[in-house]
């Protein structure tokens, strides 16, 4: 890792606050990875709502655990209950002023902060040697690229695996497990990706999962699992 950078990619010498100092750990990332017999990394699932991100990520998590790997999974809906909670959730415990300042909705700038927070967390987890799975719509290419930079600055190039779950919007609408597309089309949900907000597909994802009727989530998870084996993230 470049010693002039902190793991989030910011310069240690040009921080806004000189009172915030980066402390190197006594136990290094290399120590943790040797102890776990794996390489810490982030597997980032992106795609439209209903494309299958969470289902495939959960299957991959299961395959990794069964293999003896140390993995963890961050899911888009789950983090909205805590780390990236909307104002209405925060207001209950913290009041309106706090909720307005720190709660996240679904505007472009809120989505940017949502992914920034998650990116920081996944970077810390990968630095601890964990295979970190993240399943988020993450519609903007710039935000995903920023997470890649954070992860690879903390470790090395190749520690970030972008997985594009490329399911046609027509299929996602047919599935619509939470009824979100129906609400978005009816105008009941604003800033909904694919309907009233854009989705910027990855240009060069490490893994591109195209929609196939004969491919199960386990099949697709196995494809990613095999890629992690080939890259040396996990051993045979």
Give yes or no: 138 in active site: yes
In the beta sheet, which residues pair with residue 40? none
Of 6, 71, 127, 138, which residue is the catalytic one?
138
Has 52 been labeled as part of a binding site?
Answer: yes
Counted residue by residue, the chain has a size of 236
Has 158 been labeled as part of a binding site?
Answer: no
Has 47 been labeled as part of a binding site?
Answer: yes
Has 11 been labeled as part of a binding site?
Answer: no
With a CB cutoff of 8 Å and minimum separation 6, the contacts of 78 are: none
Buried b (16+ CB within 10 A) or exposed e, 157-178: eebbbbbbbbbebeebbeebee
Q: How far apart are CA 134 and CA 119, in angstroms?
A: 9
Has 50 been labeled as part of a binding site?
Answer: yes
Has 51 been labeled as part of a binding site?
Answer: yes
Residue ranges in 43-179 assigned as alpha helix (H) = 53-67, 76-79, 87-94, 96-102, 108-127, 141-154, 169-175
Binding residue numbers for ATP: 47-54
Active site residues: 138
Binding residue numbers: 47-54
């Amino acid at each position: 890792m470049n010693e002039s950078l902190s793991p989030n990619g910011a310069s240690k010498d040009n921080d806004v606050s000189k009172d915030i100092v980066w402390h190197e750990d006594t136990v290094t990332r290399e120590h943790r990875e040797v102890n776990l017999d794996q390489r810490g990394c982030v597997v980032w699932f992106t795609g439209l709502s209903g494309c299958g991100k969470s289902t495939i990520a959960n299957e991959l998590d299961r395959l990794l655990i069964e293999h003896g790997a140390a993995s963890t999974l961050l899911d888009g809906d789950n983090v909205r209950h805590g780390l990236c909670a909307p104002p209405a959730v925060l207001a209950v415990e913290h009041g309106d002023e706090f909720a307005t300042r720190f709660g996240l909705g679904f505007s472009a700038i809120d989505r940017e902060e949502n992914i920034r927070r998650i990116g920081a967390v996944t970077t810390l987890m990968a630095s601890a040697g964990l295979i970190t799975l993240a399943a988020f719509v993450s519609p903007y290419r710039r935000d995903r690229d920023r997470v890649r930079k954070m992860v690879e600055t903390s470790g090395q190039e190749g520690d970030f695996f972008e997985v594009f779950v490329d399911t046609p919007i027509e299929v996602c609408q047919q599935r619509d497990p939470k009824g979100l597309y129906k609400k978005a089309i009816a105008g009941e949900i604003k800033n909904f990706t694919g309907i009233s907000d854009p989705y910027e597909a990855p240009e060069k994802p490490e893994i591109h999962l195209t929609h196939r009727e004969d491919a199960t989530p386990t099949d697709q998870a196995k494809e990613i699992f095999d890629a992690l084996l080939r890259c040396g993230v996990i051993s045979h």
